[in-house]
Amino acid sequence: MIDHSLLNPTLTDAELEAGCKLALAYDVASVCILPYYLGRCAELLKGSTVKASTTIGFPHGGHASAIKLAEAKQALDDGGEELDVVVNISKVRSGDWGYALADLQPIVLLAHAHERKVKVIFENCYLNDEQKIRLCEICGEIGADWVKTSTGYGTGGATDDDLRLMRKHSPPHVQVKAAGGVRTLDRLLEVRALGVTRAGATRTAEMLDEGRRRLGLPPITP
């Protein structure tokens, strides 16, 4: 259930490469990587169950809608299997729900036409509950695959209250992803118990090593 996050803007090519290899060794759900490196990531993950993913409109969501859609097209061309799309936070806070829907729907339609999946990032730390609920409803209407708490680069991450709210107000076909602050195995298990099916993490090895220790399994060497 882990999306291994390689989105730190200071990562070097060598660190991105090592991160992909680590994700393969630990057999995580996906690698979420900086867009420019997605093609190489998809090449490294080819033939495995680990999916290549990247971000759209990251990290503030304020790109023009046409640019977001162009980013999505490029990501699909580069082998992206899952797209993590940031909402336009300003428009959401303005209550311009028509814009928010029109910003997201073409990306979901495009991805689904290519049998790829979309996670919609809310950046909850800047939103009130009414705005989060309306976004859950919109994501249900447009058929998004996941709603996601945050980019990991805002002022807050995944809280229990937000995860409960998102699960409650999203239809069953929309899954919930926790991102921001999932740094230990215990926290991973806590968010899973709240209905989360994916969690973004950078401390993937530490969490899964702890899991293997608890199960009495030998360590993994990437």
Q: Where are the alpha helices (DSSP H) in 88-203?
A: 89-93, 97-113, 129-142, 160-169, 185-193
Active site residue 84: yes
d(Cα 43, Cα 30) in Å, to the nearest integer?
Answer: 13
Active site residue 13: no
User: One of 91, 117, 132, 177 is an active-site residue; which one?
Assistant: 177
The DSSP element (H or E) to which 120 belongs, if any, is strand 117-121
User: One of 68, 117, 119, 148 is an active-site residue; which one?
Assistant: 148
d(Cα 203, Cα 193) in Å, to the nearest integer?
Answer: 20
Cβ 26 vs Cβ 206: under 8 Å: no
Active site residue 161: no
User: One of 84, 103, 145, 162 is an active-site residue; which one?
Assistant: 84
d(Cα 77, Cα 36) in Å, to the nearest integer?
Answer: 12
Active site residues: 84, 148, 177
